[in-house]
Structure 1
Amino acid sequence: MATESRNPSSTMTHAELDARAVASAQALAAHVVQAKGHGHGGTAMALAPLSHVLFSRVLRHSPAHPDWPARDRFVLSAGHASLLLYTQLFFTGYGLTLGDLAKSRTLGSKTPGHPEVHHTVGVEMSTGPLGQGVASAVGMAMAARHESAVFTPGSTLLDHTTWVLAGDGCLQEGVSGEASSLAGTLGLDNLVLIWDDNGITIDSGTDETFSEDVRARYRAYGWRVLEIDTPNDLDALEATLRMAAERTGRPTLVALRTVIGSPSAKFGGASAAHAGGFGADELAAVKTTLGFAPDAPLDDLVTPETLAHTRGALTRGEHLHSAWEADLAAWSTADPAAAARWTAFHGGEFNSSALDTVNVGSAGDTIATRKTNGAVLRALQGSVPLWGGSADLAGSTTVEVDGDRFSAANPGGEFIRFGIREHAMAAILNGIALQGPWRPFASTYLVFSDYMRPSIRLGALMGLGAVYVYTHDSVAVGEDGPTHQPVEQIASLRTVPGLDVVRPADSVEVVAAWRRILASPDRPVALALSRQDLPVLESSDTTAAGVTAGGYVRWQHGDGQDLAILATGSEVHLAIDAAALLAEEGISARVVSMPCVEWFAEQSADYRESVLPAALRARVAVEAGRGDAWYRWVGLDGRVVSIEEFGESGSGPEVLRRRGIHLDAVIEAAHAALGASQLKESVGSLAQ
């Protein structure tokens, strides 16, 4: 607890300095937003006491060591209140300046409109889409608990707390409920969710849209619930937050009643406090209330005395970090083998040679790519920091590895059962990846990637190495019908910047793709795999390299200069069958397997030319899904064999044929492309 003793370098008591720090934080938020005419100051003002206590007294962090593995994590799920976080990063010494606060929400600043990880030191996660921070914090807590159990069982060396601050909007979003339910089931007592219960959303009071008993809901999830009804009492805040961090076998919800926009008399408690400035007159009134001159400029809102007080977090952090390093050294001496494993884990060292043991079969064998992928995961277990599970479909997607499930009683468990919570599963993967350095994976059917899409986008934006294992990748799913048959999902996922969408043609390509995936820890991957058995195709010494390049010539007749047939996944063997029949007509065709268009697009122009010569204008693309994006690769003279409508209930082969994915369709498209190309050549010759 803070005391009334005087700071030796100040004429003020600690309590007085704390009060000035809170007042400065509130004035800064109001001033910066008013100066810009946009932004979100109301929440930052109301939560200034809470954030000051958390960062100055409670949070286990060291601003001088922002990557300290055993630090507490703080996630601002209510990311619109970014000024709240930026102000504390400034006050406690993470490198931000008053000028950075003034430049918030401007191009090129260190303080973007919503927090961005890897952009601002001290920001643990990119947030803004409400509820995502809550769900990803669950993933962070899971990964932290798992790491501690795997490397330092019985020790608290790696133990730390994940804190997440959320508003009413976050708790209305379904993803937070899914994740909170799982957190309660798993007994994540290293997780504290602080709920800003201010009763206000953008349009109205929450009484119009959110009348449920949130506390009772979280108790039903299996959480402990603590209350804070005095949001400005710093000592009471500290006492409750310290209690929240205690290990009780349950995650903790701290329900904090606040008044948004406080201490503004005009905007306090109103929806209008959510966004935008309060106006010059009200800003002056707020500054006066807080003890500043009504026209005080930004620099006058933080006195040297106040800043010296808040920068005490640097000294406090050094003590915490030094004590931990001493504990780490003692552990390393007592158990050097375990310490070496942990150091290798954090150093990114792993051995992927186990991929060499995966049985890919022989040419002519038939193996579903989902089965080969399962064999890959089991082969890599223990040698690569992969950790994940499935949304209640492990047996069908074949991703379950040997061992036991992760649980409250077994935090070292090798496999995660996410339950039927696809959206939370994807967000939790983001949290696991952010906690690092695990490469998290999760699996469901491809059609349900739609449930995961917001979290996938956020993971791609953050550059996280999550692996989404999707099986049942086309209408070949068959009898389950159109609700379970993906059509637009592959095309849709390919539009996400920074996401690699990989659709292997056979077991050989699955293994080769994993070599590239493991070597690319900063890119998320959507791996689309077949339910049905696919033929293992003829391979060569260059096949693996071709897969990692994203596209390559898998089969060719003659010089392959008459026609190119591009295909992915289960359609590659169909393309080869078509090319072989065209060869009997004297047509020299090449089949380009393109398991990942993103990888292919980033190759050199010379490589792309070797696979798809510019002069080779007769091209056909074949894929059992929406074909819009393929015109980039086939050009105006090319043809696309695709599926442009939903499927039907029937056997896989029947539905594929009815929707136009069959040999005759590919042959017809090839002739059309050849005809268009030859016509253009003839016209060109006449023009000359």
Structure 2
Amino acid sequence: MKIDEQCINTIRLLSIDQIQKANSGHPGLPLGAAPAAYTVWKGMKHNPNDPKWINRDRFVLSAGHGSALLYSLLHLFGYGLSIDDLKEFRQLGSMTPGHPEFRHTTGVECTTGPLGQGISMAVGMAMAEKHLGAIYNKDIEIIDHNTYVVCGDGDLMEGISNEASSLAGTLELGKLIVLYDSNKITIEGSTDLAFRENVLNRYSALGWQTITVEDGNNISELEEAIKLAKEDKTHPAIIEVKTKIGYGSPRVGLAKAHGEPLGEDGVIETKKYFNFPEDKDFYVPEEVREYFEEIKKDLEFEYEKQKRVEKIYSEKYKEDYEKLIKAFNEDWDLSFLEDKEFYEFEKDLATRASSGEALNRVADKFESFFGGSADLAPSNKSNMKNSTNFSAINPVGKNINFGIREHAMGAIVNGIMLHGGLKSYGATFLVFSDYMKPAIRLSALQQIAPVFIFTHDSIGVGEDGPTHEPIEQLAMLRSIPNNIVYRPADAFEAAVGWKVAMSSKSTPVCLILSRQTLPNLSTSSLEAAKGAYIVKKEDEELKKIIIATGSEVSIAIEAAKDDKNTRVISMPSRELFEAQSVDYRERVLPRNIKRRLVVEAATSFGWHKYATEEGKVISIDEFGASGPGSEIFNYFGITAENVKKALNEI
């Protein structure tokens, strides 16, 4: 047996041994796709001794249910996973969880599993590579690498992948190479049940290079396909690799091979098929170990060549090199956030407008910004005015035109952040955060810190009516662990929101911004960064408290202006407030004051904790209505008069 085949079969059988021991997992993909993954890993640019090397090729297992395949590769290539780690596959606290997790297992570039997200994040990685290359490459290329993806039919059925792939074709991301594990089987059976399209024709229409590998076990054919893909620097490439799910097992070609362990008898039969010892689990032949050591030497040799180039660059372009390294280390210079001028605004503004000004103040000082909007930049005020648009012919541009693709935008922003070297943001209307929830959840899960700008934050949208008026979206975003939701009350608080967003290292920040103009508050404070603070202090003994967010804060202040026993708290972020010390929280919101009124023009869900049983929540627990914004606020009782009345009743 040729050594390459022996290596591939070792990967296959290590994978099914993991799954069998756990009695849980997906053997079908590792058995079928191992040759393709091995061929990529053998030829791609990476170094297990420097897994965060900035110019490494990126590899994304978009079909994350095939994680045993990735763990087998990481073990054999020396990324620190031991045989004992493989034996703990899918066990609590192990280094080999059910789906690949970024920050958890060395060598995993992003958390995948929700289908379509991986390939879409890979588009973001490829965009980051193209943009950084345009900025830093000179006569010496310091940023020059490919992004590889292994995906399956499920990834390509999910709509998000088409959104992202469409943008990739438009942007001519020639260093993005997708290997499509085309086995024509999903959980319910043949793909003919629900997926009869010609995938390569679709991708050709999207502007991709399309290549077919007829035999997914043929290494020479795979190598030639990858070579062709790399030669075309203009078009992203999709290689349809025709495989058989569960190859070599008794369940080959069957839907049952997808997501169930093979069983002891099935594992024995599979090992027989590949001429491996039937009585040895987690077996790696000595010649395979030795061959992988040789592969790693070759990888190290190429790495050292690249590092020599990097050294020459660092000496010739010292300032640029230092800037690049600092960017990848997220060693940002954010001193401008301490300047008084950053928080000054001359007039009353909608918070979407004041946020737009703050964003541009950031962009003028912060060189590593890279983001944009889902075709709503004029409404979101999310355009960097002193920057150009990123495009196929202008990759140095910083403004990204995502098009009307919120699903993909969220995942692409994540991919840019995961690539490293850049801070990214995406913008749309708050009501469309529904489209982005899976990507925001993955931001939080991966502990990365993009900025999500959500404008048109309430019934203040007005004439567009209930389809565009967010009600439950704030509660949805607040329910995501490790996610900061920040809804400012005025221009000053909006600028503080940008300080929070730029300072965050491991938590996404969602800025929730108004369409309508809001008055600047005389008592706005940097304490907004603590999530809640006093904007109107009681003049006499404290008896009642109003808690409000966003546009409702000025309404609350107006309602309580003549009440000497009432305190008004602006609470732009519950998450930030809950992270403060007990003493601070008690100082702002004393536990003994139970007569509380919460005011927010959205669902009451989640607010009763703060209102207490003796308090009340003024909210909207139904869909909005169509009409002028001021009339809609009156219709739903979000007025100073109604707040004052409710205050008197508690």
Q: SS at 2:189's partner residue?
A: coil
For residue 415 of structure 1, the aligned residue among 399, 409, 412 is: 399
Question: What residue number does 1:21 align with?
Answer: 7
Give the Å deviation of 1:120: 0.4
Question: What residue number does 1:593 align with?
Answer: 570
Do structure 1's residue 486 and structure 2's residue 463 form an aligned pair? no
Give the Å deviation of 1:379: 1.3
Give the Å deviation of 1:154: 5.6
Distance 1:306 1:370, change over 3 A: same
Letter in 1 for 2:528: V
Letter in 2 for 1:575: A
Letter in 2 for 1:513: G
Question: What residue number does 2:285 align with?
Answer: 303
Question: What residue number does 1:616 align with?
Answer: 593
Give the Å deviation of 1:516: 2.1
Give the Å deviation of 1:599: 0.2
Deviations 1:184-240 (CA, angstroms, capped at 9, x unpaired): 000000101110110000001001100011000000000000111121111221222
Do structure 1's residue 352 and structure 2's residue 329 form an aligned pair? no
Q: Do the aligned partners of 2:216 and 2:222 also contact (CA within 8 Å) in 1? A: yes
Question: What residue number does 2:380 align with?
Answer: 397
Question: What residue number does 2:164 align with?
Answer: 179
Do structure 1's residue 65 and structure 2's residue 46 form an aligned pair? no
Aligned residues: 646
Do structure 1's residue 387 and structure 2's residue 370 form an aligned pair? yes
Q: Do the aligned partners of 1:161 and 1:192 also contact (CA within 8 Å) in 2? A: yes
Question: What residue number does 1:129 align with?
Answer: 114
Q: Report the Cα distance in structure 1 between the residues aligned to 2:334 and 2:567, rounded to whole angstroms.
A: 32
Do structure 1's residue 564 and structure 2's residue 545 form an aligned pair? yes
Q: Do the aligned partners of 1:64 and 1:317 also contact (CA within 8 Å) in 2? A: no
Q: Which runs of 5+ in 1 are unaligned?
A: 1-14, 674-688
Q: Do the aligned partners of 2:500 and 2:529 also contact (CA within 8 Å) in 1? A: yes
Q: Report the Cα distance in structure 2 between the residues aligned to 1:361 and 1:85, rounded to whole angstroms.
A: 52
For residue 212 of structure 1, the aligned residue among 182, 189, 197 is: 197
Give the Å deviation of 1:359: 6.3
Question: What residue number does 2:623 align with?
Answer: 646
Q: Do the aligned partners of 1:46 and 1:260 also contact (CA within 8 Å) in 2? A: yes
Letter in 2 for 1:567: A
Give the Å deviation of 1:153: 4.3
Q: SS at 2:231's partner residue?
A: coil
Q: Report the Cα distance in structure 2 between the residues aligned to 1:632 and 1:386, rounded to whole angstroms.
A: 38
Q: Which range is displaced more, 17-26 or 105-114?
A: 17-26
Give the Å deviation of 1:345: 2.1
Deviations 1:564-623 (CA, angstroms, capped at 9, x unpaired): 100010000011011113x2xxx4111110111000001111110000111111111100
Q: Report the Cα distance in structure 2 between the residues aligned to 1:315 and 1:646, rounded to whole angstroms.
A: 63
Give the Å deviation of 1:482: 0.7
Give the Å deviation of 1:242: 2.4
Q: Which range is displaced more, 641-650 or 380-389?
A: 380-389
Q: Report the Cα distance in structure 2 between the residues aligned to 1:537 and 1:416, rounded to whole angstroms.
A: 33
Question: What residue number does 1:54 align with?
Answer: 40
The correspondence of residues 159-558 of structure 1 with structure 2, limited to 5 A, is 159-264=144-249, 266-294=250-278, 296-299=279-282, 301-355=283-337, 356=339, 357-358=341-342, 360-361=344-345, 365-384=347-366, 385-401=368-384, 402-539=386-523, 543-544=525-526, 546-558=527-539
Q: Do the aligned partners of 1:639 and 1:672 also contact (CA within 8 Å) in 2? A: no
Question: What residue number does 1:578 align with?
Answer: 559
For residue 22 of structure 2, the aligned residue among 31, 36, 39 is: 36
Q: Do the aligned partners of 2:348 and 2:491 also contact (CA within 8 Å) in 1? A: no
Q: Which range is displaced more, 516-525 or 110-119?
A: 516-525
Letter in 2 for 1:202: I
Give the Å deviation of 1:43: 0.6
Deviations 1:24-74 (CA, angstroms, capped at 9, x unpaired): 122222233233322111110111111222112x11100111000000000
Aligned residues with identical type, % of pairs: 41
Q: Report the Cα distance in structure 1 between the residues aligned to 2:17 and 2:362, rounded to whole angstroms.
A: 54
Question: What residue number does 1:8 align with?
Answer: none
Letter in 2 for 1:224: Q
Cα RMSD for the two superposed structures: 1.5
Give the Å deviation of 1:382: 4.5
Letter in 1 for 2:370: W
Q: Which range is displaced more, 384-393 or 175-184?
A: 384-393
Structure number with larger C-alpha Rg: 1
Q: SS at 1:139's partner residue?
A: helix
Q: Do the aligned partners of 1:218 and 1:253 also contact (CA within 8 Å) in 2? A: yes
Give the Å deviation of 1:361: 2.8
Q: Which runs of 5+ in 2 are unaligned?
A: none
Q: Report the Cα distance in structure 2 between the residues aligned to 1:175 and 1:347, rounded to whole angstroms.
A: 30
Q: Report the Cα distance in structure 2 between the residues aligned to 1:353 and 1:67, rounded to whole angstroms.
A: 27
Instruction: Detail structure 1 runs of 4+ shifted over 6 Å in the superposition.
Output: none
Letter in 2 for 1:18: D
Q: Report the Cα distance in structure 1 between the residues aligned to 2:455 and 2:428, rounded to whole angstroms.
A: 7
Q: Report the Cα distance in structure 1 between the residues aligned to 2:175 and 2:362, rounded to whole angstroms.
A: 29
Q: Which range is displaced more, 401-410 or 564-573?
A: 401-410
Letter in 1 for 2:102: V
Q: Which range is displaced more, 182-191 or 328-337?
A: 328-337
Q: Do the aligned partners of 1:358 and 1:375 also contact (CA within 8 Å) in 2? A: no
Q: Report the Cα distance in structure 1 between the residues aligned to 2:569 and 2:190, rounded to whole angstroms.
A: 58
Q: Report the Cα distance in structure 2 between the residues aligned to 1:553 and 1:375, rounded to whole angstroms.
A: 25
Letter in 2 for 1:467: V
Deviations 1:412-448 (CA, angstroms, capped at 9, x unpaired): 1120000000000000011001011312111111111
Q: Which range is displaced more, 18-27 or 367-376?
A: 18-27
Q: SS at 2:642's partner residue?
A: helix
Letter in 1 for 2:296: L
Q: Report the Cα distance in structure 1 between the residues aligned to 2:601 and 2:518, rounded to whole angstroms.
A: 14
Q: SS at 2:245's partner residue?
A: coil
Q: Report the Cα distance in structure 2 between the residues aligned to 1:130 and 1:229, rounded to whole angstroms.
A: 24
Give the Å deviation of 1:310: 1.7
Q: Which range is displaced more, 105-114 or 556-565?
A: 556-565
For residue 104 of structure 2, the aligned residue among 115, 119, 122 is: 119
Q: Do the aligned partners of 1:439 and 1:521 also contact (CA within 8 Å) in 2? A: no
Q: Do the aligned partners of 1:92 and 1:312 also contact (CA within 8 Å) in 2? A: no
TM-score by length of 2: 0.97
Q: Do the aligned partners of 1:33 and 1:41 also contact (CA within 8 Å) in 2? A: yes
Q: Report the Cα distance in structure 2 between the residues aligned to 1:43 and 1:312, rounded to whole angstroms.
A: 27
Question: What residue number does 1:686 align with?
Answer: none
Q: Which range is displaced more, 17-26 or 446-455?
A: 17-26
Do structure 1's residue 150 and structure 2's residue 135 form an aligned pair? yes
Q: SS at 2:180's partner residue?
A: strand
